[in-house]
Amino acid sequence: MKIEHIKVLVSRPSRNFVTLKIITDSGIYGLGDATVNGREMAVVAYLKEHVVPCLLGRDPHQIEDIWQYLYKGAYWRRGPITMAAIAAVDMALWDIKGKIAGLPVYQLLGGKSRKGITAYAHANGATIDETLENLGKFIKQGFKAVRLQCAIPGLEDTYGTLGKKKDYFELQSDRPLPPEQLWSTSKYMNFITELFKQARAEYGYDIQLVHDVHSRLTPIESAQLGKLLEPYKLMFLEDASPADNQDGYQIIRNHTTTPLAIGEIFNTVWDAKDLITNQTIDYLRIAATHGGGITPLKKISDFAAMYNIRMAPHGAPDLSPICHAAHAHFNIWAPNFGVQEFIGFGTEALNKVFSHPLSFDNGYILLEDKPGLGVDYNEEEALKYEYKRSYLPVTRLEDGTLWYW
Ligand code: EZ4
Ligand code: CO
């Protein structure tokens, strides 16, 4: 069997997605997600100009060799653009292998380790009351875990609350340049514990609670926050601090028993190696799309398991349904799976372009048995939604200093 043709497809069914379609001479094709939010066309160029020509004529069965060829063989290793491009190829090849075998990808990984995939939903709000009302709705729907984000008084459009925007799938801005937001660590630190205090007072301790700091604290500030939140027993604190310097997590770890999760912007195991071997984190959030695909995700997961670290892949709406499906296959297998971020099945437009094998029941994501990844892409429908340049916001401190969004 040979790779005969490859399409790099871009569409904006509510938001931009980059999709790779690898077509074999047998007619069987595979799909991969190559979306990097706000930098979509960089991956498109990387794929079209530098990856696709190397793949034509190859045997699609050789997933590992093709991965090594694109990673080691490029000399310029790592980075989000490169790894998203490699990820799309890798996902598409697993999809093809599954279709040839007539088996869902999770069967090729080693089969099911559990009945369903525990998910955590996002309860957002402009106020604590609104956030807790949304938490109550998710508990009623059967969610076992929920992430709480609330606007901070004085910082109304803080990440996670989206200001006036209610549709989370439209996280992308319509403005021609990145919108700017304000951040104040003290305003945040003085307010955020109250959200969790009230959540526990109202709903008790059965529901698992998560919070995303979105990398806006230094390690010692994260340590302080972790300690303040200890009475409210979080499942984990996400992106408590950037980990460009992995040693920073030692500081957080030395001071708090609040579990820590990180990894949504990681691209390879090297971004997490010290965090793993020093056991300074509890959940690794590397995504199939941004971490080079299913092949490295499985290796990283097995490595992390040796250090009691569980997997909690990033599940934001800027990952396409192909990545969400890849995660579902991975999660249902991974012996050290923790939890999957999940914010629903998207807009009508999105569902017209992508069909997927996922459903939701009582707090669990269920995966329909279909060969390969079980996703399809309607190319004709996709043409209706033209790509539009879009940026994530940029954050500044109150004095104008550029900060982490
Ligand atoms: O901000 O995916 O946990 N989820 C997140 C996401 C990220 C977006 C960036 O594109 O932090 O919402
Ligand atoms: Co996050």
Q: Does residue 33 line the site of ligand 1, with CB under 6 A?
A: no
Per-residue pLDDT tens over the stretch 352-399: 999 999 999 999 999 999 999 999 999 999 999 999 999 888 999 999
Q: Is residue 385 part of a domain?
A: no
pLDDT of residue 291: 98
Q: Is residue 378 part of a domain?
A: no
Q: Does residue 280 line the site of ligand 1, with CB under 6 A?
A: no
Domain co-membership, 19 together with 133: no
- Mean pLDDT for 179-184 is 92
Q: Is residue 382 part of a domain?
A: no
Mean of the per-residue pLDDT values for the chain?
Answer: 95
Q: Is residue 384 part of a domain?
A: no
Domain co-membership, 123 together with 99: no
The CATH number that applies at residue 96 is 3.30.390.10
Domain co-membership, 303 together with 245: yes
CA–CA separation, 92 vs 330, rounded Å? 14
Residue 173's pLDDT band, with cuts at 50, 70 and 90, is low
Domain co-membership, 118 together with 98: no
pLDDT of residue 140: 98
Domain co-membership, 338 together with 278: yes
Distance set, CA 393 to CA 23, 270, 285 (Å) = 36, 27, 21
Per-residue pLDDT tens over the stretch 100-145: 999 999 999 999 999 999 999 999 998 999 999 999 999 999 999 9
290 is catalytic: no
Domain co-membership, 116 together with 178: yes
Domain co-membership, 347 together with 252: yes
Out of 56, 75, 104, pick the residue that ends a domain. Answer: 104
Domain co-membership, 316 together with 176: yes
50 is catalytic: no
**8 Å CB contact between 161 and 150:** yes
Distance set, CA 152 to CA 41, 127, 162, 202, 260 (Å) = 34, 8, 12, 20, 22
- Indicate if the pLDDT at residue 164 is higher than 80: no
Q: How far is the CA of 318 from the centre of ligand 1 (A)?
A: 8
Residue 167's pLDDT band, with cuts at 50, 70 and 90, is low
Enclosing domain of residue 328:
109-373
Q: Does residue 40 line the site of ligand 1, with CB under 6 A?
A: no
Helix or strand holding residue 254 (H, E) = helix 248-255
Percent of the chain with pLDDT over 70: 97
CA–CA separation, 262 vs 36, rounded Å? 18
Q: Is residue 400 part of a domain?
A: no
Q: Is residue 394 part of a domain?
A: no
Q: Is residue 402 part of a domain?
A: no
Atom of ligand 1 nearest to the CA of 341: 3
pLDDT of residue 198: 98
Q: How far is the CA of 256 from the centre of ligand 1 (A)?
A: 24
- Indicate if the pLDDT at residue 9 is higher than 80: yes
Domain co-membership, 79 together with 163: no
Sign for the pseudo-dihedral over CA of 117, 263, 9, 60 = negative
Q: Is residue 386 part of a domain?
A: no
Domain co-membership, 127 together with 226: yes
270 by Cβ neighbours in 10 Å (0-12 / 13-18 / 19+) ranks as: exposed
Q: How far is the CA of 264 from the centre of ligand 2 (A)?
A: 6
Out of 73, 104, 135, pick the residue that ends a domain. Answer: 104
Please count the structural domains in the chain: 2
Q: Does residue 318 line the site of ligand 1, with CB under 6 A?
A: yes
The CATH number that applies at residue 163 is 3.20.20.120
Domain co-membership, 139 together with 97: no
Domain co-membership, 131 together with 246: yes
Out of 58, 89, 104, pick the residue that ends a domain. Answer: 104
